[in-house]
Every structure is written in structure tokens, then in C-alpha cells.
């Protein structure tokens, strides 16, 4: 039997800029989500390397706090859920189906984790693990109105018991994922993460996807293509030329300490060659 997990609350709050635990309020929830997406990047370096992705809380905590890494939804949102619960929020996890880039009525596997927070009788969706379009503020669940965040506008719609989250990208409302309020357990995240990190159809397998937010900007890295998206401006894009340049971008732009993996440089070189060829 595994040992009970203990959240390193002091380190977690310190990384988010708090010297003491804040109260479980809507203002706190907004600040936590905004700071989290800026501090802990979304990244798929493990799946790029075809390395195991452990989603038990102790492993996630070590990866984020001590290994200088980020993670994907089953890592970032699972630890964030435990932070919210430790601070006194009423919160639980949900799973969703990613439809971004495909038909909205598709039924792909449940490969995304989000968090449901109930606060003063109102329900909010919170997500710190959706890559380059991660919402940077909580979204009121029971509303179909446009909702502002520090970055994009978002909108939720309900149909036949299923919610769809859309983001306004340019002039287009783009569907991101669909979800319902079905109860989940940790084993659901384990199974879904195993699929995402090992199945040959997974979009993360053998690919590098990295994202981070900041004041009115988003930074993304897709294999060798690095971009900075500033609100109201044309995106800046750079094609990274070699392995050293890419590793430097990971460190300086995303705050990631690249893992000491024997295949790291060769894998990155292959990805760059495929993208350039």
C-alpha cells in the first residue's frame, strides 16, 4: 500500500507568490488560476521521449517542485485540485473530450481533466492544463454568456447534459472540449493519462508541445516552432534552428529544466529535422 500523500503547501503557495494561505474566495480562485498558468508551464517532454508519465500526486509534486518541470492536464489539474481542497474550496475533478480541431459532435476518449469548484452556491469550471488556450480565469458553469478572462473570451453552452467550452480566437468561436458532471476517481486519470502517453493515436506521443501565460501574452512551442502571442498584436514566430537553441528556449522562455534523458538531444534533433524537411 502506498503512503498517504502530503501536499507541500508552503512550497506550492510560495511558487505562486503567497507567504500565507489565502481565503477560499472567488478573488483568490481567480488569482490562483492566473498565477498557476504563468508559473507552471504545460509541457509534453515526457510523451515526446515516450517516457512514463506518473500521475500519482507525489510524483507530480516532485516533478513540478523539485525537477523544474511542468506537465499536462492530468498532472497540473490534479495537483491544483489538491491545492484548492487544502485551502478550503469545495472542488472535485471532471473529465472531458477534446474536440479542438475536429467536429464538435465527435466522441473521442475522455483525455482531459478539469476542476469543478462550488463557491457561495455558484459553480465554476477551473482549468490550468489546456496548453496554448488554457483559460486564465474561472468560468461560471451555469451561464451561456461570454465570459472574460485576463486573456481570451470564453463561452459555455449546455446541450443534452453535455457542456461545450469555446474560446474566441480572432473572430472565431473555437470549440475546445466537451464535458459533463459525471463523478470521477483517480483511476480515471490514471487510465486516461496512460492512453494519452502511450497510444499511437495520441497527439502528444513523440511531439513537443509547450505553453505558458503572462501579462497579456501567451508563449507556445510546437516542436521547433516558438511563438509569442500578444493581445491585439500579430503573433511573433521563430523556427528554432538546432537542439541548443530549443533547449535554451525551454529554459529562458518557459522556465523548464530539460530532463536528463539519454535520448533527449537525439529526439529533439529528429523532431527539428522532420519539421524542417
For 42-70, the pLDDT digits (tens) are 999 999 999 999 999 999 999 999 999 99
How many separate domains does the chain show?
Answer: 1
Active-site residue flag, 127: yes
**Can you spell out the DSSP letters for 13-79?**
HHHTT-SSPPPSSHHHHHHHHHHHHHHS-EE-HHHHTT-----SHHHHHHHHHTS---B-HHHHHHH
Instruction: Tell me, yes or no, whether 2 lies in a domain.
Output: no
For residue 2, the model assigns a pLDDT of 57
**Are the beta carbons of 42 and 209 closer than 8 angstroms?**
yes
The closest of 83, 61, 90, 81 to 13, measured between CA atoms, is: 83
C-alpha distances in Å from residue 181, one per residue of 116, 123, 124, 195: 8, 11, 12, 21
* Cell numbers that stand for 180 in this block: 459533463
Query: Which of the residues 112, 144, 160, 180 is marked catalytic?
Result: 112
Lowest mean pLDDT among 7-16, 80-89, 111-120, 230-239: 230-239
The pLDDT value recorded for residue 258 is 97
Answer yes or no: is 196 within a domain.
yes
* Residue 1 reports pLDDT greater than 80: no
Confidence of residue 260 (pLDDT cuts 50, 70, 90): very high
Q: What is the C-alpha separation between 135 and 170, in angstroms, rounded?
A: 16
- 174 versus 1: which is more confidently predicted? 174
Of 127, 142, 151, 160, the catalytic one is 127
78: nearest Cα among 99, 88, 97, 64:
64
Q: Which of 145-149, 169-173, 210-214, 223-227 has the lowest mean pLDDT?
A: 169-173
* Distance set, CA 175 to CA 42, 126, 155, 169 (Å): 19, 16, 9, 10
What CATH number is associated with residue 189? Answer: 3.30.2140.20
**Does any domain span residue 3?**
no
**Inside any domain, residue 4:** no
The yes-or-no verdict on residue 193 having pLDDT over 50 is yes
What rounded mean pLDDT belongs to the chain?
A: 95
Q: Residue 137 above 60 pLDDT?
A: yes
Supply the pLDDT for residue 190.
95
Give the pLDDT score at 275.
84
pLDDT tens-digit map of 4-43: 899 999 999 999 999 999 999 999 999 999 999 999 999 9
* Lookup result for grid cell 533547449: 247
Model pLDDT for residues 140-149, shown as the tens digit of each residue? 999 999 999 9
Given a contact cutoff of 8 angstroms between Cβ atoms, the answer to whether 225 and 241 are in contact is no
Confidence of residue 277 (pLDDT cuts 50, 70, 90): low
Whether residue 122 lies inside any domain: the answer is yes
Given the residues 36, 73, 151, 229, the one annotated as active site = 73
**Predicted local confidence at residue 264, as pLDDT:** 97
Active site residue 36: no
- Domain, as residue range, for 272: 9-276
Structural domain contains residue 63: yes
Structural domain includes residue 257: yes
Query: What pLDDT does residue 211 have?
Result: 98
pLDDT (0 to 100) of residue 97: 96
Amino acid at each position: 500500500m502506498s503512503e498517504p500523500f502530503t501536499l507541500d503547501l508552503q512550497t506550492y503557495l510560495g511558487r505562486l507568490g503567497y507567504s500565507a494561505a489565502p481565503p477560499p474566495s472567488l478573488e483568490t480562485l481567480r488569482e490562483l488560476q492566473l498565477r498557476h498558468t504563468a508559473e507552471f508551464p504545460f509541457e509534453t517532454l515526457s510523451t515526446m521521449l515516450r517516457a512514463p508519465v506518473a500521475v500519482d500526486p507525489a510524483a507530480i509534486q516532485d516533478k513540478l517542485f523539485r525537477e523544474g518541470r511542468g506537465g499536462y492536464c492530468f498532472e497540473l489539474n490534479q495537483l491544483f485540485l489538491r491545492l484548492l481542497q487544502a485551502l478550503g474550496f469545495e472542488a472535485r475533478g471532471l473529465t472531458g473530450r477534446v474536440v479542438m480541431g475536429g467536429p464538435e459532435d465527435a466522441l473521442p476518449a475522455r483525455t482531459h481533466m478539469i476542476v469543478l469548484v462550488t463557491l457561495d452556491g455558484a459553480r465554476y469550471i477551473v482549468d490550468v492544463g489546456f496548453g496554448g488556450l488554457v483559460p486564465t480565469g474561472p468560468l461560471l458553469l451555469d451561464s451561456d454568456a461570454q465570459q472574460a478572462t485576463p486573456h481570451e473570451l470564453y463561452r459555455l453552452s449546455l446541450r443534452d447534459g453535455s457542456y461545450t467550452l469555446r474560446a474566441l480566437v480572432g473572430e472565431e468561436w473555437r470549440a475546445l472540449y466537451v464535458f459533463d458532471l459525471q463523478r470521477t476517481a483517480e483511476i480515471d486519470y490514471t487510465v486516461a493519462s496512460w492512453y494519452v502517453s502511450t497510444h499511437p493515436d495520441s497527439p502528444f506521443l513523440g511531439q513537443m508541445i509547450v505553453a505558458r501565460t503572462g501579462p497579456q501574452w501567451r508563449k507556445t512551442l510546437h516542436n521547433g516552432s516558438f511563438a509569442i502571442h500578444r493581445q491585439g498584436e500579430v503573433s511573433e514566430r521563430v523556427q528554432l534552428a538546432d537542439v541548443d537553441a530549443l533547449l535554451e528556449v525551454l529554459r529562458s522562455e518557459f522556465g523548464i529544466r530539460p530532463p536528463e534523458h539519454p535520448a533527449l538531444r537525439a529526439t529533439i534533433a529528429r523532431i527539428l529535422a522532420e519539421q524542417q524537411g
